[in-house]
Amino acid sequence: MIAMRDFLTGRLVPVLTILVAIVVIWYGAAIGLNGPVIRDFEKRAGETSEGMAFILKTWSQPKPTMPAPHQVAAAFWKYTAGVKLTSNRSLIYHSWVTLSATLLGFALGTALGVVIAISIVHVPALDKSLLPWIITSQTVPILAVAPMIIVLLAAIGVTGLLPKALISTYLSFFPVAVGMVKGLRSPDTLHMDLMRTYSASRAQVLWKLRIPASVPFFFASIKVAIAASLIGAIVGELPTGAVAGIGSKLLAGSYYSQTIDIFAALIAGSICAILLVTLVDITGRLVERRMGAKT
Amino acid sequence: MSTLPVISAKNLDLVFQTGDGSVHALSDITLDIEKGEFVSLIGPSGCGKTTLLRVIADLEKPTSGEISVNGTTPEKARLDGAYGYVFQQAALFPWRTIAKNVALPLEIMGLPAEERTSRIKRNLDLVNLTGFEKKFPWQLSGGMQQRASIARALAVEPDMLLMDEPFGALDEIVRDHLNAELLKLWATTQKTIVFVTHSIPEAVYLSTKIVVMSPRPGRIHEIIDCDLGADRPLDIRETPEFLKIAHQVRDGLREGHSYDE
């Protein structure tokens, strides 16, 4: 009972309060942004509407500048529950296309980041030579790099899932590499001295001390990395005229000014992000509990 | 007692180079420790007692002078697993249970699983921690954690224990108790123990030999024999013999300018 009440007052109420605030602001913005278009339309048609009638008009345009929440919700419902999973109109299908690229890219990026971090910690020369390049790699705008990667890979015959995944890798290896360098260096002098009294080899220090000590850093890093992977996959779908994926839905929506569809695709993307981050979070908690963390 | 000392230091010097000049941590240290002795290094902070212990353990390299451990260099002795080292803090790995913490050096030595299990059991029993195998370190009190770290050092089955103020962070009641246990352990295992402390009663109660050190530069002021016999109940600390040696140590510390500001 107490746990339930803690959950209600501690988590649910604050989150719902913000949600209500967002929805209220959203409806307000829809009036403000769609209003001028309707006024313009009415002037030409020689009519006027006032008060509630006018407000309701701003919330029910077929191609509004700013779709109202209920319009987005209806579209989202239609494209998830209302169509077959295999349909080209299904947001679940498109989400899955994007998610598979995200997960592949995330796995590659995490592996790459960990390997880079282990190398940096063990080879002092790499610390000085590699780290500046890694940081520089992230200052290049991904939107400019993504088409080049896709085009270059297509030129050597690599198409489909992998190019998109590689853009995810490009974005996700960075937080893992930086976080893991810090994590692998987190053991204090006392523990390092202890391992020295046992004459432990570098490999033993890595497996028995550095890696277990870096676990909290690892989960903090991959939480950022998995969100970045999703963005990478969506961005990878944008410049290439991809036929499937959340990115392609965003692009198609903007071609035909179907703002409601764009927002529905955005919501699908956000739900994917929330699911992924939550999954990482839960895995992290389970692992840390197994490793004796105070709960 | 064998004729060859287990630890032999001759004219040992160690100078640390730091950002703002050099620190003379050890100066002209000459000391022999025989097998089976319980030697305490005592002195105020900055007298080099921990540094000397770390040189024996090959955690620091001397700048000049000679030192041999088990008739060889400290480095070779370390690689041979000649000693178990107990730090000021328990230094248990928080992600390992107590049993797994004791297993750590045994895994590094590459011992087979049955041997590890029997050594874990035997040594946890020795420090009265049977029943706590599956607990994580944070679930134990400070004194119990330190006992676990002693079990971990003993599990290596070294001939020598190097202990750096192992009970310094514990309250006096727990410390008294652990001192008595340590003496019992020393009597049954016949190990050579080098023990760093800044407590006079602790040094006198435990040792066969007390090395009084003084600071700036860190050096040996005096070596006092402490022949209270093998059987030492806790209330030996009120006997005149005990107080006489304690007085001698205090005088030594005073002459070494340990009480100067």
**By CA distance, what is B158's nearest residue in A?**
A198
Q: How many domains would you assign to chain A?
A: 2
Percent of chain A with pLDDT over 70: 98
- Residue of B59, B91, B97 lying closest to A292 (CB–CB): B97
> Domain range for residue A37?
2-66
Residue A141 sits in the same domain as residue A7: no
B93/A212 Cβ within 8 A: yes
**By CA distance, what is B138's nearest residue in A?**
A294
Q: Identify the band that residue B96 occupies on the pLDDT scale cut at 50, 70 and 90.
A: very high
Token pair belonging to A103? 């997960």
Residue A54 sits in the same domain as residue A155: no
Distance between alpha carbon B178 and the CA centroid of its chain, in Å? Answer: 13
Q: Does A294 touch chain B (CB under 8 A)?
A: yes
Q: How many residues does the structure list for chain A?
A: 295
Residues 64-93 of B with CB under 8 A from A: 78-79, 81, 83-85, 87, 89, 91, 93
The interaxial angle of helices A124-137 and A91-122, nearest 10 deg, is: 150
Per residue in A88-104, pLDDT (tens digit) is 888 999 999 999 999 99
A30 within domain boundaries: yes
**By CA distance, what is B106's nearest residue in A?**
A198
Bridging pattern class, strands B38-42 and B209-214: parallel
Q: Which of A150, A177, A139, A172 is nearest to A241 (CA)?
A: A150
B97/A294 Cβ within 8 A: no
Residue A62 sits in the same domain as residue A96: no
Q: Does A200 touch chain B (CB under 8 A)?
A: yes
The residue ranking higher by pLDDT, A195 or A52, is A195
Residue A143 sits in the same domain as residue A257: yes
Per residue in A101-146, pLDDT (tens digit) is 999 999 999 999 999 999 999 998 988 898 888 888 888 888 888 8
Per residue in A160-180, pLDDT (tens digit) is 888 889 999 999 999 999 999
B137/A199 Cβ within 8 A: no
Residue A262 sits in the same domain as residue A119: yes
CB B57 within 8 Å of CB B28: no
Residue A45 sits in the same domain as residue A96: no
Per CB-CB distance under 8 Å, the chain B contacts of A197 are 57, 59, 78, 83-85
A199/B108 Cβ within 8 A: yes
CB A214 within 8 Å of CB A180: yes
Handedness of CA A47, A52, A54, A59 (dihedral sign): negative
Per CB-CB distance under 8 Å, the chain A contacts of B76 are none
Token pair belonging to A170? 């490009």
Q: What is the CATH number of the domain that holds A201?
A: 1.10.3720.10
A74 within domain boundaries: no
CB A49 within 8 Å of CB A90: no
A80 within domain boundaries: no
Interface test with A, best of B104, B133, B156 (most A CBs within 10 A): B104
Q: Identify the band that residue B1 occupies on the pLDDT scale cut at 50, 70 and 90.
A: very low
Bridging pattern class, strands B219-225 and B209-214: antiparallel
Q: Does B136 touch chain A (CB under 8 A)?
A: yes
Tell me the shortest Cα–Cα distance from A293 to chain B, in angstroms. Answer: 7
Percent of chain A with pLDDT over 90: 58
Tell me the shortest Cα–Cα distance from B246 to chain A, in angstroms. Answer: 32
Residue A174 sits in the same domain as residue A41: no
A81 within domain boundaries: no
Residue A150 sits in the same domain as residue A275: yes
pLDDT at B261: 56
Per-chain mean pLDDT for chain B = 89
Residue A269 sits in the same domain as residue A163: yes
Residue A15 sits in the same domain as residue A58: yes
Per residue in B117-148, pLDDT (tens digit) is 999 999 998 888 999 999 999 999 988 999 99
Residue A157 sits in the same domain as residue A238: yes
Per CB-CB distance under 8 Å, the chain B contacts of A211 are none
**CATH number, span B1-82+160-261:** 3.40.50.300
Q: What ranges do the domains of chain B cover?
A: 1-82+160-261, 89-157
- pLDDT at residue A76 above 90? yes
Q: Identify the band that residue B52 occupies on the pLDDT scale cut at 50, 70 and 90.
A: very high
Residue A162 sits in the same domain as residue A56: no
The interface predicted TM-score of the complex, written ipTM, equals: 0.89
A295 within domain boundaries: no
